[in-house]
A and B are shown apart, each in its own frame.
Chain A
Amino acid sequence: MAEVTLRRVVKRYDEVEAVRGIDLDIADHEFVVLVGPSGCGKSTTLRMIAGLEDITDGDIMIGGDVVNDVPPKDRDIAMVFQNYALYPHMTVAENMSFGLRLKHYPKAEIKARVDEAARMLDIAELVDRKPKQLSGGQRQRVAMGRAIVRNPKVFLFDEPLSNLDAKLRVQMRIEIKKVHQKVRTTTVYVTHDQVEAMTLADRVVVMNHGRIEQIGTPNDLYHNPATRFVAGFIGSPAMNFMPCRLEEVAGRLHIRLTDRIGFALPERRAARYQGVARDQKLLVGLRPEHISEAKRHPEPGLEPFDAVLDVTEPMGMETLVYFTLEGTQICGRVNPNAGARDGGPLRLAVDLNNMHLLNEATGAVI
């Protein structure tokens, strides 16, 4: 087991710069998820750690050793691929033991390790089957088993759950977490699914356009996003953004969304935004759960307003409501009993205690 360090790592393909200077420190035993949209460089970063791609510039260290020119087989890593990449002509046991057999481990030890991994992953009864006789979830378990038996310094996962159906994905997510709790191997996990990132990671690395946007714990990213990209990417349904400006009304700082709608900021927010220029173009970011049905008794920071709903989406434990404000579609979350209906009016309240204010030009959260 080992820590993984990336120092100003760059990857260029001819003209395209896929990864633009990444610095990342992954601690021993840590579970780090790289997340971002397609083409953000997350898979390339993982493949560079694996040694499947050369790095154009910078250093990658595993366990303190620079491995830039070390071939994959000598990096002591194991990788799980999106399409499982099981050897189709080998049985499950042969698949799992392939690496150990190449390294001429004693037969007894190979068997012991395979048995243990198979038991851990609940595939003990499948060891004599060929991959084509397995379901998608079982194949993914075998792929994980192949990684586990090697007992490597680092596990690398490249979108391992993307080929599974939604229900199985949730189940396997929990399995992966359980396995990590047992083996505690340093793990780098790539996904485009922010839910997977949030649920699995000790720390999430949000990437965009070949750069790291923000690194933090799942809760940290959710509640304190640093940029508009992170704010919009993490969380589902996504955070709402509306153009706004600040203004002073009767000595209190207000946020004005439209000519009709403007709210006084709660004190702590007002103090935080005091220094922002009044004429600056700003965005207010509000998560759907912070736009909810208005309560009977006013609370500090909760500002009511009236909306006409376009569409409602009952989810059971909550109802998502969509309405339009100055041409922007806004999503809110209300109690199923709040009386929301398609095309109907509803009195909503925004929770300004949890608002985010962003610089429209730079996308930075203020």
Chain B
Amino acid sequence: MASTAVVDKAAPTRKVQYGSMSRDRAWALRWSYFFLTLFAIFSLVPPFYMLITSLKSSAEISAATNPWWVFHPTLANYGELLTSNQYLRFFLNSAMVSVFVVTITMLISVPAAFALSRMRFWGSATLATGVFLTYLIPDTLLFLPLFKMFAVFHEWTGIQLINRWYVLLIVYPTLTVPFCTWIMIGYFASIPKELDEAAIIDGASWLQTLTRIFIPVALPGLIAATIFAFTVSWAQFLYPLVFTTSTDQQVLPVGIITTLIKGDVFNWGQIMTGALLGAAPPLIIYAFLMDYYIAGLTAGATKG
């Protein structure tokens, strides 16, 4: 034993160049950080500019100073907007529309997705594709026929829907329902078939299978769909611009544009403030639901 140890020591040591795992990883990380930083800067510049501008007085905005810095910060824009009944009305309208649209969308797309993914009726596969295809039709094409439909509806029934905030509850789901249904079909498809078979053998009806098994298991998907529906209805611009004209019926994105731009006078300070405040609710909802989303992802693990 002793002699071999001596021999080993005496043996010439060769330096071998191996590719290092940790070095590869370090480079990968460096590139990741580089591009992520680049991307973060790129996407954070507009909100930053909004914030800076919202803190300026009109005089400072029009003055030829550095646009990226505030020299005399003021909360005047915030004060004015938050005490303006009009702005609060826009905000309330947006909130009502979004909450209702999310509810309506979920009530339609979750059962629809369940039926399309699981109940295997004649034509279900074609219908599922059809649902997705309707999402591909841009809203810029849809608003004209929709407008005409509401006009005809008014002629026939005497019920005026145009220029009422609740008309948006009818038109927004044309955007949200197809996509949310599609998302939910995907999530439901990832649930093993044996799970609903087990439920059916246990004596569950289709509705019970949906409410007691599928919805809890596909909760992450449900939350993703909710976030999507909320974002779409909160940020939608074209439809409210077309379908609502009175300021008391308008939602935030359109309201800001129509009331804060007077002719060729842009009230930049308040526009930026309004947009920044308007961006807050989705941000809060994202932050709140993201925890559930990630928790849901692991809790829903159905792997055998």
Which residues from chain A sit less than 8 Å from chain B, CB to CB? 50-52, 71-73, 77-79, 81-89, 98-99, 102-103, 130, 132, 136, 139, 146, 150, 163
Contacts and interface: CB of A to CB of B under 8 A. Distances in A.
Nearest to B191: A88
A51 B201 CA distance: 9
Contacts of B213: 87
Contacts of B208: 102
A73 B203 contact: yes
A163 B304 contact: yes
Contacts of A99: 201-203
A85 B203 contact: no
B194 A83 contact: yes
A249 B23 CA distance: 81
B216 to A, nearest CB: 4
Most buried by B among A50, A88, A150: A88
A72 B201 contact: yes
B192 A146 contact: no
Interface in B198-237: 198-205, 208, 212-213, 216-217, 219
Interface residues of B, number: 24
B201 A79 contact: yes
Nearest to A130: B299
Nearest to B208: A102
Question: Which 8 pairs between the two chains have the least Cβ-Cβ distance?
Answer: A83-B304, A99-B202, A85-B194, A73-B203, A85-B198, A89-B216, A81-B194, A102-B203
A78 B201 CA distance: 6
A88 B204 contact: no
Given A73-B203, A73-B204, A132-B301, A88 B217 contact: yes
Given A81-B198, A82-B304, 8 more contacts: A73-B200, A85-B197, A87-B199, A89-B216, A89-B300, A98-B204, A102-B204, A136-B304
B302 interface: yes
B202 A73 contact: yes
Contacts of B202: 73, 98-99, 102, 146, 150
B216 A79 contact: no
B303 to A, nearest CB: 8
Contacts of B137: none
A83 B302 CA distance: 10
